[in-house]
Structure 1
Amino acid sequence: MISRRGFLAGAGAAALLVAIPVPAVGQSAQSAQSAEFTPSVFVRIGADGRIEVTVPRPDTGQGVRTVALLLVAEELSVAPEHLVVHQAPGDTARYGSQLVAGSQSVQLLIGPLRTAGATARCLLLTAAARRWQVPVAQCRARDGYVWHDQHGRLSYAELVADAAAIDPATVPVTLTPRAEWRFLGKEATRIDAADIVTGRARFGIDVREPGTRFAVVRRAEWIGATVATVDDTAARAVPGVLDVIRLDPAAGTQGGVAVIADSTAAALAGREALVVGWTGGSPQADSRAWLAGLASAVPAPPRAPGPVGLDLTYHLPLLAHAPMEPLNATAHLPGDGTLTIHAPTQDPGGMRDQLAQLLKLDRAAVTVHATLAGGAFGRRFELDFVLEAVACSRVTGKPVKLLWTRDDDTQHDSYRPMSVHRLTAVLARDGVPRWRSHGVATWPLTTAPFSNNPELVLLSGDQFPYRVPGKPSVVLKPSPLRTGFWRSVYAGPFVFAEECFLSAAGHRAGLDQVELRRRLLPSDSRLRRVLDAAASQAPPPAGVVRGVACHLDYGSAIAVLADVRDLGGTPVVSRVTAAVDVGIALHPSGVRAQVEGGVMDAVSTVFGAQITVRDGRVVQSSFRDYAWARIDRAPEIDVVIVDSGEAPGGLGELAYPPASAAIASAVAALTGVPVHGMPVTAETG
């Protein structure tokens, strides 16, 4: 039976290539016998004029491939729709770090990709100048041709062989000045938008190699449990079930029992038929008790330089990643010393290196193909789901696609840690804080052992930008379950607590929230400029309360104004205005999309989304009870881009922390109920 996606996509989609089907530019009949021109690992121009761009970092929904294409298109002076983009396989030796994390993807691609495109352009210009015997300065590149006022034009295709013969070290490379940009900084549709909405785009969940088997895992019944006994008689009797294996937690998986079948449906039916006994772990675990334990561990405030005028505590819950595409990976370990992986991953190069080391394989024998990912948010940095697929392929010798169900994703995630924050302040007579303390109790990230260090938690979380002296302190308690990177990591909880606290101080003193922050920010700061830009928008209408929050991180600055109104006794966010300074906005529509995503995450977590644990089990199992915002809760979102001319900064994690604080503070001002944490509509934990 053909699937909906198969019907839309049709047959014969290339496994590793996401391309824009347009003719090559500057094509010429004379170029048919020319050599290809590959001035770097990122850019190739074929004998037919076809320009190909290899993007080293994967696209997990943030649009990095679109920006990469714009960077090269600008330097080659060729419209982006005439370029073809390839996703690079995992290979750190060839491409350097391929990690997508810390809102750094675009920042780290700008230099290499612009230089690659500029090198190609300068070599083509030099080749044309030598053929015409004119100075290079008299030549110009545009739309796939090199032009000269007297000699006319030569296509890139005609110049490929000559350019390839030039030593790049002998040619000065100049970047295109910003004043001459044609594509960067302009509105541009994502290169894969049409393929995504029509089903042609190939995500990890769409991979199906010849001879593929399918697998799902019966996972622990409670937190930390391991398999004691397995009766797989009934499971093996299910038509289509091929094998049942135990997964070893010591091998990097989360453990459990995998069912391998000739279809996902058969694997799921086999999983239901398993009889598994479990042992160990924490069958009585309760997230309310964990939160109480953190509350009792919050460090006491240091001696204040005056009477403490405000003392508030905030409780923040566990959060699951909940990417729209559940975890999956396809692995092929045929037993000949090779391994092939197709997976939506945030680090294909790192995955390749780690798999080679863990499985004692030659790195050259390991191939990792990074597919498109339907969201990541820090979860696809990990290897557990890939190692599950590898374990199943080891047994079968065939390609095995391992799929997590939505319930698996929700109940066996690497969660954002719970945290408790106590903030105190000495207030001036006008109510403005003049000293503050911030004590935090939280957990390290179990998937990143290096995070078991309070100083690293502070490095991630403490981005307090205001002129109020005081230093936060952190106590780390052992994590009782699996925790990992979640969008904005520790900055999310820190900024939420600090901005809600500042808003509470302003509310108590009757101060305007924007003016309060203006007084605490240097007049020439980037934050002050985005705050002014946000505040210059229309004032809130009658009956609407506005919350304010700011954030400076990743080389970028943002101010968020959230308007909340009462709708039949329920607070709803009607509008969010975010002014953002990412330095130079290379892809403005991408900037807006990232901010909008962060705002929707904030709406979701402020109004109910949390993970709770009762009797050792995660209560939530899907979007039906992990209350991510539906479309009817989506506010109008206005993104104001402030161009500071600074170097481009990071963005993917920037909007969530201040958006959550601005929304929560507005709800508090509307309802008169102080913020005590998230969600504001239910008990935390």
Structure 2
Amino acid sequence: MITRRRLLGATGALVVAAPLVRSQLGYADELTPSVHVRIDGRGRIIATVPKPDTGQGVRTMAAILIAEELAVEVADVTLEQAPGDTARFGPQTIQNSTSSRQLAQPLRTAAATARCLLVTAAANRWGVPPGECAARAGRVEHPGHRALPYRALVADAAKLDPATVAVTLIPPEKWRLIGRTRAGRSDARDIVTGRAKYGAESAPPGALIAVVARPKWIGAQVDTVDDAAALAVPGVVAVVRLVAPAGGQGGVAVVARSTAAALQGRAALTVTWTGGTPAADSRTWIADLEAALPPVTGKPDIQRIFRLPLLAHAAMEPMNATAHVTDTGVTVWAPTQDPGGLRTILSRQLALPESQITVHPTLAGGGFGRRIEPDPVFEALTCSRAVGAPVSVRWTRDDDTRHDSYRPMSVHRLGATLDASGLPVSRFHQVATWPLTVVPIFNNPMLVKASGDHFPYSVPGDVSVTLRLAPLRTGFWRAVYAGQFGYAEECFLSEIARRGGHDQVTARRTLLPADSRLRRVLDTASDHHGYADGAACHLDYGSAIAVLVTADPVARKVIRVTAAVDVGVPVHPSGVIAQVEGGVLDAVSTVLGAQITVREGAVVQSSFRDYAWARIGDCPEITVIVVPSDAPIGGLGELAYPPAAAAIASALAAGGDPVSGMPYGIGVG
């Protein structure tokens, strides 16, 4: 774990180890203190960001950290995306809200090393101690009114042995940018003007387009294919049968010279299917999970059952990937959450050395856990090998909705014994759910419990998990199991408080430990919001958040949401706010009714027309308060969803029945 002392530096004199030896510094006209940072002979600062960006703003965070240590502005840092290569760049996965926590130390150290080498080079040229010099605004200054821009020092700095130079981090009291800048995303202009290239836009010139006819029902495999009509469509190049890889779904791909031709060719295919579960029904699944709950012993004062539905990821950019297989190797362009891991998987699956595999991670229009999975890449590889050309596989919105790796269903039975004031003194929480089929290790009740159970209140109790085999593909979905455990626990606590005549905030404050970070964020949110119909707290990923909600239960309208969040050092405050807002809107969507159902073996929902994600008119007034903290950098991407969903559901239920089923997004399948 990165300690605060290692990460921030207690004083400006804190010495950190230089990351590379002299022989690794690069050419004389370029200063390269690490794989993360280099400064060319023109003084241009280039940051190579090892983690991909799926909308969370990791590139901007990297630019802020590097600009801080190099005493320049964020706009002075040119950003480049690293290819998939864990040997060079270390872990490249973005999941479990780890990007900031894993990158802060190496990025700051790399930039600080460059700064100290430049300062030393200037001091040597002037014949003065380095301690008398300072880096400021892209140059090194000395009190004798002398200054040299970085570009004039690069060659001298590149010749220095970093092992002989003391490297210090900028102390927090001297920060100009970290936790202070109000700058937006570094790539915002490119995104809004269309210059930013997402996955489907990153295919090389001449790439063919493929779409896939996917199983008609869950688990079905291709039986027969009549492709004559498809091949007769102008522009169609080939029809390729896809055998389902591990975790994949298989199907029949139509490869064409345009998306329109590929779609027309798919519509002309005649495919028969076999196997699978054509009679599958999610109403049966939820009933089976409920029946799997163990019997209750004793007589709790209050008991409730919560039924949580399947959820699709619904990333704004549907799944896609481009691959080119040649005699000399494989190149992939994909919006992936794990470029380094993908390269390793491809090496193993294709029996090729990693040196023959290149993975270019692209900007992604959302991930939420789905882009950890490589199934679109394998589809593109199979098609490219079949036609001998680069192929870009495009999923339609309907493909994305009906063939996702869904958040598992779950059923929760909670019970509590209450004291004379009506607050809980003991509790139990029984969970029946499915493992994540895309990660076999999750077929373990204790791992599911560890992932989901983050109950923060001083109420002793037992939590048990019963797993049943998943009847369809399930995978990571924002907050994974914590989004379900925390939802049920907070909704249950809200009902207990309401029954006992307690204010939602007061009840939670009473049950939180006196020194809890959650008390601080809860009080901060309450001071801003005032009385709230719904409230919830969440402590996870090294961060703390409290969410308060005002709603109109009759109109089923969320009016106001206030979130106070403690993420330790908020490297990019605007990014913190944006991440929390995104989690709140996901919560609005699911609580107001977005869910996946299965009838006659197939997913019913097909796109945003019936998988009803929040529209502009559903958006409440959202206030996010970033609470100052001296804790280490915490995770954020998945933090807001669990408490926001629980607080919204509880607020909507404030005027009516307890939250145990529809219409508050807790479907019965």
Whether the TM-score (by the shorter chain) exceeds 0.5 is yes
Partner of 1:563: 550
Cα distance in 2 for partners of 1:152, 1:658 equals 55
Q: Which runs of 5+ in 2 are unaligned?
A: 1-26
Identical amino acids, percent of aligned pairs: 62
Which residue of the partner structure matches residue 609 of structure 2? 624
1:325-364 pair list within 5 angstroms:
325-334=317-326, 336-364=327-355
Query: What count of residue pairs does the alignment treat as equivalent?
Result: 642
The answer as to 2:121 corresponding to 1:134 is no
Counterpart in 1 of 2:109?
A: 115
Structure 2 residue aligned with 1:14: none
Compute the displacement of 1:308 (Å).
Answer: 1.3
Q: TM-score scaled to structure 2, two decimals? A: 0.95
Match of 1:637 in 2: 622
Matching of residue 549 in structure 1 with residue 549 in structure 2: no
Q: In the alignment, residue 314 of structure 1 is paired with which amino acid?
A: F
1:618-665 C-alpha deviation (Å, 9 max, x unpaired): 000000000101000000000111112111100100000000000111
* Partner amino acid, structure 2, of 1:351: L
Going from structure 1 to structure 2, the CA distance change for 1:457 and 1:677 (only over 3 Å counts) comes to farther
Alpha-carbon separation, structure 2, partners of 1:293 and 1:197: 47
Question: How far is the alpha carbon of 1:538 from its aligned partner?
Answer: 4.0
How far has the Cα of 1:300 moved from its partner? 3.0
Say if 2:592 is the partner of 1:607.
yes
Contact in 2 for aligned 1:333/1:393 (Cα 8 Å)? yes
Asked if the contact 1:609/1:679 (under 8 Å) is kept, the reply is no
| Residue 299 (structure 1) shift | 2.5
Amino acid at match of 2:224: T
Asked if 1:292 is matched to 2:287, the reply is yes
2:262 maps to 1:277: no
CA change 1:324–1:678 in 2 (3 A) is farther
Partner of 1:479: 470
90-99 or 120-129, larger mean C-alpha shift: 120-129
Q: Deviations over 1:274-328 (max 9, x none)?
A: 0001000000000000000000011334x55xx5111100000000001000001
AA paired with 2:249?
Q
Instruction: Tell me what 1:684 maps to.
Output: 668
Partner secondary structure for residue 48 of structure 1: coil
State the AA in 2 paired with 1:559. A
Task: Check the 8 A contact 1:34/1:158 in 2, yes or no.
Answer: no
**Structure 2 match to 1:262:** 257
- How far did 1:151 drift? 5.7
Aligned equivalent of 2:449: 458
CA–CA distance in structure 2, aligned partners of residues 337 and 445 of structure 1? 36
Structure 2 SS opposite 1:147: strand
The equivalent position to 2:189 in structure 1, one of 189, 194, 205, is 194
Q: Residue type of the partner of 2:317?
A: E
Specify the SS of the correspondent of 1:415: coil
Q: CA deviation at 1:539?
A: 2.6
Equivalence for 1:388: 379
SS at match of 2:538: strand
CA RMSD of aligned residues (A): 1.2
Aligned to 2:20: none
**Which residue type is aligned with residue 268 of structure 2?**
A
When normalised by structure 1's length, the TM-score is: 0.92
- The equivalent residue for 2:632 is 647
Tell me which stretches of 4 or more aligned residues in structure 1 moved more than 4 Å: none
Whether contact under 8 Å (2:247, 2:437) holds in the other structure is: no
2:302 alignment partner, one of 289, 307, 310: 310
CA contact (8 A) 1:606 1:678 kept: no
Residue 167 of structure 2 corresponds to: 173
Q: Aligned to 1:419, which of 397, 410, 424?
A: 410
The match for 1:588 is: 573
For the 8 Å contact 2:587–2:644, the answer to whether it is kept is yes
Partner amino acid, structure 2, of 1:86 = E
Measured against aligned partners, the alpha-carbon deviations of 1:417-467 in whole angstroms (never above 9, x if no partner) come to 000000010110111100000000000000000100011101110000000
Deviation at 1:678, TM superposition (A): 5.9
Matches within 5 A, 1:13-52: 35-52=29-46
2:496 matched to 1:509? no
| Aligned counterparts of 1:652 and 1:525: Cα–Cα separation in 2 | 22
Match of 1:321 among 310, 313, 328: 313
> Deviation at 1:396?
1.2
Find the aligned partners of 2:530 and 2:338 in 1 and give their Cα distance: 44
**Residue identity opposite 1:674 in structure 2:** P
Q: Distance in 2 between matches of 1:250 and 1:587?
A: 40
Q: Distance in 1 between matches of 2:621 and 2:630?
A: 28
Q: Deviations over 1:99-123 (max 9, x none)?
A: 0000111111100000011011111
Give distance in 1, aligned partners of 2:425 and 2:437. Answer: 37
Asked if the contact 2:533/2:551 (under 8 Å) is kept, the reply is: yes
Per-residue deviation, 1:173: 1.2
Q: CA deviation at 1:208?
A: 3.1
Q: Which residue identity is paired with 1:189?
A: G
Q: Does the aligned pair in 2 maintain the 1:90–1:368 contact within 8 Å?
A: yes
Structure 2: how far apart are the matches of 1:531 and 1:145? Answer: 44
Is the aligned partner of 1:430 residue 2:414? no
In 1, distance between residues paired with 2:229 and 2:185? 48
Letter paired with 2:549: A
Aligned to 1:598: 583
Between the aligned partners of 1:231 and 1:320, the Cα distance in structure 2 is 31
Query: What residue identity is the alignment partner of 2:301?
Result: G
2: distance between equivalents of 1:549 and 1:645?
23
Of 146, 152, 171, the residue aligned with 1:158 is: 152
Post-superposition shift, 1:209? 1.0
1:223 aligns with 2:207: no
Q: Which one of the candidate residues 94, 98, 103 is aligned to 2:92? A: 98
Q: Which residue matches 2:460?
A: 469
